[in-house]
Amino acid sequence: MKNIVILISGRGSNMQAIVNAFLNEKAAGAQIAAVISNRPDAAGLTWAAEREIATAVLDHKQFAGREAFDAALAELIDGFAPDLVVLAGFMRILTAEFVNHYVNRLINVHPSLLPAFIGVNTHQRAIDEGVKLAGCTVHFVTAELDSGPIIAQAAVPVMLDDTADSLAQRILAQEHQLYPKVVQWFVAGQLAVVGKQVRVTAPACADGFLQAPSELGSSQAPSVNVLLSAPSA
User: What is the SS3 string spanning the chain?
Assistant: CEEEEEEECCCCHHHHHHHHHHHCCCCCCEEEEEEEECCCCCHHHHHHHHCCCCEEECCHHHCCCHHHHHHHHHHHHHCCCCCEEEECCCCCCCCHHHHHHCCCCEEEEECCCCCCCCCCCHHHHHHHHCCCEEEEEEEECCCCCCCCCEEEEEEEECCCCCCHHHHHHHHHHHHHHHHHHHHHHHHCCCEEEECCEEEECCCCCCCEEEEEECCCCCCCCCEEEEEECCCCC
Rounded alpha-carbon distances, angstroms, from residue 163 to 107, 133, 137: 28, 14, 20
The one catalytic residue among 60, 101, 110, 176: 110
List the end-to-end C-alpha distance of the chain, in Å, as a whole number.
Answer: 38
Q: Is 110 a catalytic residue?
A: yes
Query: Under a CB-based contact definition with an 8 Å cutoff, are residues 180 and 110 in contact?
Result: no
Catalytic residue list: 110
